[in-house]
Amino acid sequence: MLDTSLPPPSSADTVRCRTEADALGYAGFDAIDRMMAATTGGLTGGLSPMGLSLATLDWAGHLAGSPGKRAELVVKAWTKALRFAVHAAQATADPRTPPCIEPLPGDDRFTGEAWSTYPFNLWAQGFLLTQQWWHNATREVPGVSPHHEDVVSFAARQLLDILSPSNMPLTNPEVLAEIAATGGANLLEGARNLADDVGRALNHAPPPGADAFRAGETVALTPGTVVARNPLMELIQYAPATDVVAAEPVLIVPAWIMKYYILDLSPANSLIGHLVARGHTVFCISWRNVTAEHRDYGMEAYRRLGVGAALDAIGAILPGRKVHAAGYCLGGTLLTVAAAAMARRGDDRLASVSLLAAQTDFTEPGELALFIDHSEVRFLDSMMWQRGYLDAGQMAGAFQLLRARDLIWSRLVRAYLMGEREPMTDLMAWNADATRLPYRMHAEYLTQFFLRNDLASGRYEADGYPVSVQNIRVPIFAVGTERDHVAPWRSVFKIHNLADTDVTFVLTSGGHNAGIVSEPGHPRRHYRIRHHPADAPLVGPDEWLAGTRPVDGSWWLAWGDWLDARSAASRVQPPPMGAPAAGYPPLAPAPGTYVFER
């Protein structure tokens, strides 16, 4: 009988077979899971149904096991129903009856005079009472994890906002008045607006009016020259506007989530133009709008090819000069990593670090944390793995959901029910000029910063070594904005807990974008500022707020004074544009070429 058995494998054969199985088999299993997650994510807009289900089960299960909380909600429901009935009777008899509940600060849906008339006032009051009850129902349920509580409360708020009487033509008095005044023409105009928006979305065209704001024509007009270019960024050097300039140049590191020119919008509100006019030599990174080709560019690539390459170019153009570096949003987080890595290896090219609406500690990242948990990151990671990048529209959708009342529903009412188009501004047009994020970079950012908080914990590595914010010894200027839903100011304030150096903190009015674009002369702007020496005791954000008086005007002026105080006393002649002999010839006029990539 023929022996068909095989000899026992050697240990080397076993290792080789396992390696081949891992390479050929197990990786394929993971690819199947990723494709499944990516397909599901495409149907859900990138949101993880498992994450929402887990949050709902956590809330519902603990609510079911909390008879005291349920009894409290029953009592509150009866109390609110009685309160509404009494108010309805009084308001019917006397239209001047004050409301029984006021909208939350920032909720302007029911502030018009028409909402004080019967029966619209009752619909508004009933909705606000219902909204308040659901807030109570989704909050403070014993045993629910804080993240799941936030997710369930957010989901309930989104559903309620859909059902708001302000969104319905028959229950919105302002829409009814417009119908009466125009004979329904507003609805026809709204239908045209809807058809136009659908067509633009299908064709990936910018919103109406955005074409009037084109980089190099109406925005991003500060004169300059591209003096360096690599696969990830262009470096723009701006032409001097004064006879003499500060010896130390300024390097601006913007976020690559959007185009750089939020800091160089119209001439009247250009931060870059403001710095140049004050006598600073300014360099700014213009990031590339990546494609699937750049899928493997990670955070280290952005640090090396971004901040590192820019500093090398500035060093060739201005040998021996220290640099004031400023980072906005995600660019500020990257700049912190770069500065900490430089400090670890003794690189002293920085004169100061300025962080504009940038987080370094992600323990309290704000409402963006609603979209960041292990389940959600897996879905996003799989979608990016399949495409090679995170689509710009998906990021924009997440930001809009955070402020759906203002950014979605109020705009839909105005455009489709009232038939009115909101006038386009330079900031709105820039906001529509979104960019893509490479797969590896965004996956690392979500995991290492949002989920694990590696930078604040001293676990984040650059050049293969852990970096520590405490190693940064140059002075820091940090800016938070009062209504920031992307980088909440209390989160930005945490730089005080990480840095072992002088920190000057500014809290300015406005939100994540408008608070930074806060030019001198802008009406109703104010800011608070306080310097914290490295050896002074720390204070908490609420104590800081209570003890720091507001100052009217723009924080740009305070920042300019801060930079001047940390620069050489004597001014120098403006530097040449680029350094051809050192390998940095002028390549193109500002705003360069990468800013036009779609």
Q: Catalytic site residues?
A: 329
Closest CA to 372 of 439, 445, 451: 451
Residue 561, amino acid: D
Q: Are 332 and 357 in contact (CB under 8 A)?
A: yes
Cα distance between residue 476 and residue 360, in whole Å: 13
Cα distance between residue 355 and residue 331, in whole Å: 9
Cα distance between residue 65 and residue 68, in whole Å: 9
Counting beta carbons within 10 angstroms of the beta carbon of residue 573, is it exposed (0 to 12), middle (13 to 18) or buried (19 or more)? Answer: exposed
Cα distance between residue 482 and residue 489, in whole Å: 6
For residue 397, give every residue at least 6 positions away whose Cβ sits within 8 Å of its Cβ, in sequence order, or none.
Answer: 45, 46
Q: Kindly list the distances between the CA atom of residue 524 and the CA atoms of 448, 510, 553, 554, in Å, as whole numbers in the listed order.
A: 38, 10, 8, 10
Rounded to 5 degrees, φ, ψ at 286 are -110, 110
Q: Kindly list the distances between the CA atom of residue 63 and the CA atoms of 75, 142, 157, 209, in Å, as whole numbers in the listed order.
A: 15, 8, 18, 49
Counting beta carbons within 10 angstroms of the beta carbon of residue 2, is it exposed (0 to 12), middle (13 to 18) or buried (19 or more)? Answer: exposed
Q: Is 234 in a helix, a strand, or coil?
A: strand
ω into residue 520 within 30 of 0, thus cis?
no
Residue 474, amino acid: V
